[in-house]
A and B are shown apart, each in its own frame.
Chain A
Amino acid sequence: MTGKDLPALNIADLQSLLRRCEVSPLEVIDALRGRIDAIDPEIGAYLSLDMDAAAHEAKKSNVDLPLGGVPLAIKDIINVMGQPCTCGSKILQGYRAIYDATVIQKLRAAGAIPFGKTNLDEFAMGSSTENSAMKLTRNPWDLSRVPGGSSGGSAAAVAMDAAFGALGSDTGGSIRQPAALCGVVGLKPTYGRVSRFGLVAFASSLDQVGPLTKTVRDAAMIMNAIAGHDLQDSTSLNEAVPDYTARLGDDLRGVRLGLPKEYLIEGIDLQVKTAIDDAVRQMSSLGAEIIEVSLPATEYAIAVYYIVATAEASANLARFDGVRYGYRAQNPKDMLELYGRSRAEGFGPEVKRRIILGTYVLSSGYYDAYYLRAQKVRELIRRDFVRAFEKVDALVSPTSPVPAFKLGERVADPLQMYLADIFTIAANLAGICGISVPCGFAEVEGHRLPIGLQVLGKALDEARILQIAHAYEQSTDWHKARPPIAAAVA
């Protein structure tokens, strides 16, 4: 194994080498640095790197810890002390975090080394990473296409072997959808399973932090480190954390998988549908029982989401006012102008749109018609899942109705962009967990574009969906495929 080959390893394999002292943590950092320098100028996954600090950490790292010496990339909406935290927004340009998020404290305690911050849609609002005010991120499988979003930088970095694994955040699909579009694994934990302390808030009743990785096992290893109760987050659940790797290797015999009939909608790409059908047949041949289920309130999910999420965002983003941190407009004549111009000049169009929509649905005279009604329909969506999980152990569907779309294709039409999240959004509204795992490719204009299979589980059933996703993954070679650009650099 030469330094050049190191970045292609998954976390579990890297860990074996580190523990056998066949490679040192410092050599791993150097190899990663070389890899990022060689490939990231083409892709644009990273917003900032702190490799010198990472090298310093590596020298004193203890490889016997659960993630000892493993470098991880962090979505630039999670606070890492001393590093920038831009949230992809001009309003936080130059901001430096003054503390570690709880997930970062936990990763450090497990021996991992956070070394760089990845690009995202501004404040995680988007499905293509094109709403970043900082830079464009390209899909490593086809540079003319989006990596998905909002955790597009994290997904692209893992896909092109420029990160061993990464953290993202998922409010309506922002871990699972980019994972699907870039051909990696992405897990959204149950609401409350992972602390949100230090994750810059977008929609507080929906946001969760989770891993993006090359394999299901790696996702389980990161979950072991980051899950758990936190006194700093009153919505975090005080429930025991199982060993998420314990059930990996269990087979699918006797597992009941639900196929929601509402998810076979019009507009789903034919190659995506074929790949999902094949994956379901594969899981059936591995012993799973396939059962059709119904989630009738699904058709309302996107409408509910864009009321609840924007309402919460309008309140959360009120803190960006140009007073205590972040961007301030030049020479305001009074406070009102300081607020109005700092926010006008600091926020991008999608963030402005969502704040305005959220302010409107909460405003006097419209609250009942929009926000209250949306919260009631949200309860219908939650009940659908409760009923379905009485009959099945997990649900399977496409992660995204389409493979990666072209850069620029949906920017002018926010509603079209919102529809990209149709299969992922309901899980956030219901608070349940979900994972996306590679399940094939679409051939489009001479490029292979990854397709993701989503497995949804009931609340706190992460170990189960990891087991199911792992059993499927290990029966295929999809997770071993790497984009041509990654092979060219290696």
Chain B
Amino acid sequence: MARTSDLDVAYVARLARINLTEAEEKVFQKQLDDVLNYVEKLRQADVSHVEAAAHTLPIFNVFREDAPGDCFKAEQALSNAPRQANGLFVVPKVVE
């Protein structure tokens, strides 16, 4: 597939666990190539003396007392589960 950036949409979509159709791969490749070509302009910025911003405001590690508080009951946590049984989330078998 012709593309104008290093991005391989089909490959990255697999990393992100999204099964794309071929039609989607084609459209997204073109659209994201456009976006990546646009962000190329960042190369013009002089950042040689700049530390990367971790936070815009002075926020540091925040600690609290290591004391138990309220938490959800199992039935609340399971109330939106697509499949559940015996207080557990049910998924396809993961070990052979």
Which of the residues A307, A359, A378 comes within 8 Å of B16, measured between beta carbons?
A: A359
Find out whether the CB atom of B47 lies under 8 angstroms from the CB atom of A373. yes
**Residue B2 at the A interface, CB < 8 A?**
no
Q: Which residues of A are found within 8 Å of B9, using beta-carbon distances? A: 356
Q: Interface stretch among A16-24, A220-228, A343-351, A397-405? A: A343-351
List A contacts of B32 (CB < 8 A): 353, 356-357, 360
C-alpha spacing A146/B93, complex, angstroms: 46
CB B15 to nearest CB in A, in angstroms, measures 6
- Classify chain B's interface size: 35 or more
Q: Does A191 contact B (CB under 8 A)?
A: yes
Interface residues on A, range: 35 or more
How many contacts between A and B, using CB within 8 angstroms? 171
Residue-wise, chain B 5-41 has the 8 Å CB interface mask toward A (1 for contact) of: 0110100111111111000100110011011101101
B86 at the A/B interface (Cβ < 8 Å)?
no
**Residues 72-90 of chain A: 1 if any B CB is under 8 Å from the residue's CB, otherwise 0?**
0000000000000000000
Least CB distance from A456 to B in Å reads 14
Chain A residues in 8 Å Cβ range of B42: 300, 303-304, 307, 370, 373-374, 377
A340 CB contacts on chain B under 8 angstroms: 14, 17-19
**In the assembled complex, B57 has its CB within 8 A of some CB on chain A:** yes
Give the interface segment out of A118-126, A132-140, A229-237. A229-237
Name which of A48-56, A107-115, A330-338, A481-489 contacts chain B: A330-338
Question: Is the Cβ of B72 less than 8 Å from the Cβ of A357?
Answer: no
Docked-complex contact A235 and B59, CB < 8 angstroms: yes
Please report the C-alpha to C-alpha distance between residue A25 and residue B81 in the assembled complex, in whole angstroms.
37
Closest to A305 in B: B39
Residue of B nearest to A231 (CB): B64
Q: How far is the CA of A306 from the CA of B41 in the complex (A)?
A: 12
Q: Are A336 and B17 in contact (CB under 8 A)?
A: yes
Contact of A380 among B38, B47, B56, B59 (CB under 8 A): B47
Residues of A within 8 A of B81 (CB): 324-325
A375 and B89 form a contact (CB under 8 A)? no
* Chain B residues closer than 8 Å to A375, beta-carbon distance: 52-54
Q: Do A378 and B53 touch across chains, with their CB atoms under 8 A apart?
A: yes
CB distance A459 to B57 under 8 Å?
Answer: yes
CB pair A343 B18 closer than 8 Å: yes
Whether B53 pairs with A415 at a CB distance below 8 angstroms is no
A48 to chain B, nearest CB (A): 15
Contacts of B34 in A (CB 8 A): 414-415
Interchain residue pairs A-B with the least CB separation, the first 6: A431-B56, A325-B80, A328-B82, A375-B52, A340-B19, A376-B47
Question: Can you list 16 A-B contacts with CB-CB less than 8 angstroms, sorted by A residue number?
Answer: A234-B62, A297-B45, A314-B16, A335-B94, A344-B20, A349-B27, A352-B20, A353-B32, A356-B12, A357-B7, A360-B32, A370-B39, A376-B45, A377-B45, A378-B52, A380-B45
Residues of A whose CB lies within 8 Å of any CB of B are: 94-96, 98-99, 190-192, 205, 231, 234-235, 237, 297, 299-300, 302-304, 306-307, 314, 321-328, 332-341, 343-344, 347, 349, 352-353, 355-357, 359-360, 363, 366, 370, 372-380, 382, 413-415, 418, 429-432, 459
